[in-house]
Amino acid sequence: MAEGDFNEGDIGLVVADQVARVTFDRPAARNAMTFQMYERLGEICATLEARADLRAVVFRGAGGAFVAGTDISEFTAFRTGADGVAYEERINAAIARIEALPAPTLAVVDGAAVGGGLVIAAACDLRIATPKARFGVPIARTVGNCLSAANVARLVRAFGEGPAKTMLLLSRMIDGEAAHRLGFALACVPPEELEAEADRIVGTLREAAPLTLAASRETFRRLAAAAPPDAETVARVYGSADFREGVAAFLHKRRPVWRGA
Give the C-alpha separation, 150 to 226, whole Å: 7
Give the C-alpha separation, 248 to 261, whole Å: 16
Domains of the chain: which residue ranges?
A: 1-190+210-261
DSSP 8-state assignment for residue 227: P
List strand residue ranges (DSSP E) for the chain, in order. 10-16, 19-25, 56-61, 67-68, 105-109, 112-114, 126-129, 134-136, 174-175, 187-188
The half-sphere exposure of 247 on its side-chain side, counting CA atoms within 13 A, is: 20
pLDDT tens-digit map of 104-163: 999 999 999 999 999 999 999 999 999 999 999 999 999 999 999 999 999 999 999 999
Predicted local confidence at residue 227, as pLDDT: 67
Asked if 112 and 65 touch (Cβ cutoff 8 Å), the reply is yes
Predicted local confidence at residue 1, as pLDDT: 40
pTM recorded for the entire structure: 0.92
What average pLDDT does range 243-256 have in this prediction? Answer: 95
DSSP 8-state assignment for residue 167: H
pLDDT tens-digit map of 1-26: 446 554 556 999 999 999 999 999 99
**Helices 161-170, 149-159: inter-axial angle, 10-degree rounding:** 130
Predicted local confidence at residue 2, as pLDDT: 47
Give the C-alpha separation, 187 to 197, whole Å: 8
Superfamily of domain 1-190+210-261: 2-enoyl-CoA Hydratase; Chain A, domain 1 (3.90.226.10)
DSSP letters spanning 15-73 = EETTEEEEEEE-GGGTTPBPHHHHHHHHHHHHHHHT-SS--EEEEEESSS-SEE-B-GG
Report residue 95's pLDDT band, with 50, 70 and 90 as the boundaries. very high
Report residue 221's pLDDT band, with 50, 70 and 90 as the boundaries. confident
Predicted local confidence at residue 224, as pLDDT: 81
Cβ-Cβ contacts under 8 Å for 116 (sequence gap 6 or more): 33, 67, 69, 70, 91
